Amino acid sequence: MTTKNSSRRNILPSIVLISSLLVTSCAAGSGSQAGSENAGATSAGIDETTLPEGVEIDFWHIQATIYGEAITEMVEEFNATNEWGIVVNESFKGSYQELNQAVRASLAGGGSPDVTMAYENDTLEYLANDVIVPLDPYLESEKYGVTEEEIDDMVDGVLARQRVDAYNGSTLSWPHGNSSMGMYYNADLFKKAGIEAPPADWDEFMEQARQMKEETGLPYVALGTGKNGIYYNIMRSKGTTPYDPEAGTTEFASPVSIEALELLAGLYEEELAYTAADTEQEFTNERTASEIGTTARTSTKIEQIGDRFDWTVALTPQESEEPVTQLFGGNHVILASDDSEQELAAWLFMRWFAGTDAQAIYAARTGYSPAVESALETELLTTNYEENPQKAAAFENVFVNAQIMPPTAAGNAIDDMVTGVVEEVVLGRLTPQEAADRMDAEATTLLASAPQN
């Protein structure tokens, strides 16, 4: 009898503990994944929509520091001036990776933002999950769309990335404001070494590097730890796109790739280049004559360098008819909701953000270049570029030539792999031929295993 009672009494702690375990393990609930119920929205249907006053939308982004302050200022401006009374609630969500984690969680549990920043790889992922709103009906809407002039006003590379091949003819994103890969150079040091202008091609780049070392004893260029960017840039400047996600092929084993790797290996072997975690510090502290990096850092360089030396930013060397460099940064996308008014309000905010006035604010406050050329004509940006000629150079010399790499779900994995292999080359552990063969084999496998849309 006692044993039986004791057993009954002892059931209670078991139940309590099992309940605790359930709380601890936090089992996934039945996620209410947003479906793109309005994916079939038409321009005519959108035109008929009358937006009620005070629609609230959530906007998630990755911008902190001066970029975050600029976003706050722009959102406040939009909230105060938009004719529909739309209220945008902006929220900083960390890095792109953390933002993507937050979006994934929200897609599973509800509460996804109306507008979020996203790279093409993320956009492809959202497309595969049917949670992204195609923008073409909005673009074509008579009442809420954009005109041909507005489209033509957009910088070529920025417009192209909103409707890449992988989107199957749709426009899935709209500009946020971007940067590009440029070559910052110390004009005083160049003059000291007897160099008149930045290099036009890679042979001249190598010659100048040797000349700089000989005349000043300084290395010619500082490169970051992620070597995939400069390697892609050399290949693309020679007219070769490193890989083709649709065909599943790569050019990593091509003669152009070998040339690029030999160039990089030579720069390191002759101690004309070196790797730095923070290339900006190397450049601003005059430990190198040039730096290859993102033009987003132009504004911070202006502040750090002051009038200590003369410098500017140029396009990296080019050897093909169409100059090209890397385009960095994300876009805006609309995540599907079951409310067409929310989606329309999201589009109107995105349209405003990519417009002349907003892009002028963004480019004036930060190191980003404007997505539309008309922003250059605004008083705000005209004054800002006059006061900061390096920012104007970043736009005119570099940004207008920037194009993204072909997007693929395997993009990040390929970038990591290429960075690792190129590092082995500059350290002398692999020959360019060995590296090329390895990159070709590994990238082909990665492309084949990536879920393409």
Partner 1 sequence: MAIQSIARDQRDSTDSSKPAARTSTPSSDELGRWRRRAGRVILYLLLAAGAAIMLFPFFWMVSSSLKTFQEVNLSPPTLFPADPQWSNYADAWTAPPSGFARYFLNSLLVAVVGTSLQLFTGLTAAYAFARMKFRFNNLLFVIVLATMMIPFEAKIVPNYVLIRQIPLTGGNDLLGAGGSGLYDTYAGMILPGVASAFAIFLLRQAFMAIPRDYWDAVRMDGASHWTFLWRVLIPMTMPAVLTVVLFGFLARWNELLWPLIATQSESIRPVQLGLMSFSGDEGSLYHLLMAATTLVAIPGIIFFLFVQRRFIEGLTAFGVKG
Query: Token pair for residue 304?
Result: 């750090």
Using rule CB under 8 A, residue 31 touches partner 1: yes
- The span from the CA of 245 to the CA of 453, in Å, is 10
Q: Does 91 bind partner 1 (CB under 8 A)?
A: yes
What x/- string results for residues 283 through 302 when contact with partner 1 is judged by CB under 8 A?
-xx-x------x-xx--x--
The reply on whether position 64 binds partner 1 by CB under 8 A is: yes
- Closer residue to partner 1 (CB): 167 or 283: 283
Instruction: Provide the residue type at 131 as one letter.
Output: V
- Cβ-based neighbours of 174, under 8 Å, separated by 6 or more: 135, 162, 331, 332, 333, 350, 351, 353, 354
Number of DSSP helices (H) and strands (E) in the chain, helices first:
20, 14
Which amino acid does the sequence have at 264? L
- Site residues (CB under 8 A) for partner 1, limited to 251-290: 280-282, 284-285, 287
| Interface characters, 336-375, with partner 1 (x: CB under 8 A) | ------------------------------xxx-------
CA distance 164 to 161: 5
User: Whole-number minimum distance, CB 278 to partner 1, in Å?
Assistant: 8
The sign of the dihedral angle between the CA atoms of 390, 156, 358, 353 is: negative
Rule CB under 8 A: choose which of 84, 96, 268, 274 binds partner 1. Answer: 96
What span, in angstroms and rounded, lies between the C-alpha atoms of 258 and 436?
Answer: 6
Q: Which of 79, 82, 171, 304 binds partner 1 (CB under 8 A)?
A: 304
Q: Which is nearer to partner 1, 68 or 266 (CB)?
A: 68
Q: Are 310 and 184 in contact (CB under 8 A)?
A: no
Q: Go through the chain and tell me how many residues it has.
A: 453
Q: Are 236 and 157 in contact (CB under 8 A)?
A: no
- Minimum distance between the CB of residue 228 and partner 1, rounded to whole angstroms? 17
* H helix or E strand, kind and range, residue 11: helix 2-25
**Distance in Å, CB of 367 to partner 1, minimum:** 7
Q: Which stretch binds partner 1 (CB under 8 A): 99-107, 331-339, 405-413, 416-424?
A: 99-107
Report the nearest approach of partner 1 to the CB of residue 63 (Å): 6
The site map against partner 1 for 102-121 (x = CB under 8 A) is x-xxx-xxxx----------
Place of tokens 């300084």: 218
Indicate whether 179 belongs to the interface with partner 1 (CB under 8 A). Answer: yes
Query: Residue 341 contacts by C-beta under 8 Å, 6 or more apart in sequence?
Result: 49, 51, 52, 55
Which residue lies nearer to partner 1 by CB, 25 or 147? 25
Q: In 196-310, where do the E strands start and end?
A: 221-223, 243-244, 249-250, 273-275, 290-294
Interface positions with partner 1 (CB under 8 A): 7, 10-11, 13-14, 16-18, 20-21, 23-32, 58, 62-65, 67-68, 72, 89, 91-96, 98, 101-102, 104-106, 108-111, 179, 280-282, 284-285, 287, 294, 296-297, 300, 303-304, 306, 366-368
